[in-house]
């Protein structure tokens, strides 16, 4: 059984993937917010750490400074703690579609932090690689959390739309994320590092035009090409 430490994630995906990870044979310790390095020291003394999942999220009034402290400074602190003390450990960061696209309901600080985390994955994969430390990230698409199930049950047309525009024909679940975390912290991914894996059922592979055609009945039957016949 491996020992996986989860930083943050008291709600949302970080909370909901725990049962899947436990079924896959991982002992889970939750690292609470605060002085992360000291917390890791205490946890590692009690039980050696085999993997680290970083999914902390800032929620508070000072968006810019708070997001930098929670998503960037704390991540840097934990990555460098691993690099200075451990070998042959896998680290997984949960990032967001806001790292690669604009999600208008989220502030600029959130977008900045998630994009910077993707670059940190690449940087630390290189600088910590000689110690056998692997660093990867997961970028989940729309993921249905248990607390949102009632909302989607009340709006079946919305879920039907998401199913239609997603190539795999369904919405993502916390278990999907958990299975990927299990792979990334396990021996089957021993030669994989520095990657951000998009876990969205293929929706990001569709162009904006293709999505518009699927969403709009008036566009769906238009010819794909705008070229005139015979040219």
Q: What is the pLDDT, as a whole number, of residue 145?
A: 83
Q: Is the pLDDT of residue 140 over 90?
A: yes
Nearest to 140 by CA among 89, 181, 86, 197: 197
What is the rounded average pLDDT of the residues 199-223? 86
Q: Is the pLDDT of residue 152 over 80?
A: yes
Q: What is the pLDDT, as a whole number, of residue 228?
A: 57
Q: What is the pLDDT of residues 61-83, one digit of tens each?
A: 888 999 999 999 999 999 999 99
Structure tokens at 197: 């894996």
Nearest to 176 by CA among 198, 158, 155: 198
Q: What is the pLDDT of residues 181-197, one digit of tens each?
A: 999 999 999 999 999 99
C-alpha to C-alpha distances, 189 to 39, 122, 178, nearest whole angstrom? 27, 16, 15
Percent of the chain as helix, strand, coil, to the nearest 5:
50, 15, 30
Q: Cα 43 to the chain's mean position, in Å? A: 23
Q: How many CB atoms lie within 10 A of CB 53?
A: 28
Q: What band does 138 get if pLDDT is binned at 50, 70 and 90?
A: very high
d(CA 15, CA 73): 22
The predicted model scores a pTM of 0.92
User: Is residue 110 annotated as a catalytic residue, yes or no?
Assistant: yes
What is the rounded average pLDDT of the residues 25-47? 91
Q: What is the pLDDT, as a whole number, of residue 32?
A: 80
Rounded to the nearest integer, the mean pLDDT of the chain is: 92
- Structural domains in the chain, CATH included, are 2-146+169-203 (3.40.50.720)
Structure tokens at 50: 């085999």
Question: Which one-letter DSSP state was computed for residue 206?
Answer: S
Query: Which of the residues 36, 58, 110, 124 is marked catalytic?
Result: 110
109 close to 64: Cβ distance less than 8 angstroms: yes
Q: What band does 209 get if pLDDT is binned at 50, 70 and 90?
A: confident
Q: What is the pLDDT, as a whole number, of residue 220?
A: 73
What share of the chain in percent tops pLDDT 90?
75
């Amino acid at each position: 059984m491996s020992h996986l430490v989860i930083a943050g994630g008291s709600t949302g995906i970080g909370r909901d993937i725990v049962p899947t990870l436990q079924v896959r044979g991982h002992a889970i310790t939750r690292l609470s917010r605060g002085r992360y390095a000291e917390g890791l020291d205490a946890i590692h003394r009690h039980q050696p750490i085999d993997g680290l999942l970083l999914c902390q999220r800032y929620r508070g009034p000072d968006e810019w400074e708070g997001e930098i402290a929670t998503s960037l400074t704390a991540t840097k602190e934990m990555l460098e703690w691993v690099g200075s003390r451990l070998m042959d450990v896998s680290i997984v960061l949960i990032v967001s579609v806001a790292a690669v696209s604009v999600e208008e309901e989220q502030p600029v600080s959130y977008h900045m932090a998630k994009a910077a985390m993707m670059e940190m994955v690449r940087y630390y994969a290189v600088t910590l690689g000689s110690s056998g430390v692997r660093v990867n990230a997961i970028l989940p698409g729309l993921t249905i959390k248990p607390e949102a199930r009632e909302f989607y049950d009340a709006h079946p047309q919305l879920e039907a739309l998401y199913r239609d525009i997603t190539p795999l024909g369904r919405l993502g679940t916390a278990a999907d994320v958990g299975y990927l975390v299990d792979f990334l912290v396990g021996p089957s991914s021993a030669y994989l590092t520095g990657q951000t894996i998009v876990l969205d059922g293929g929706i990001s592979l569709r162009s904006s035009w293709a999505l518009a055609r699927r969403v709009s009945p008036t566009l769906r039957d238009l010819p794909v090409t705008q070229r005139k016949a015979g040219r």
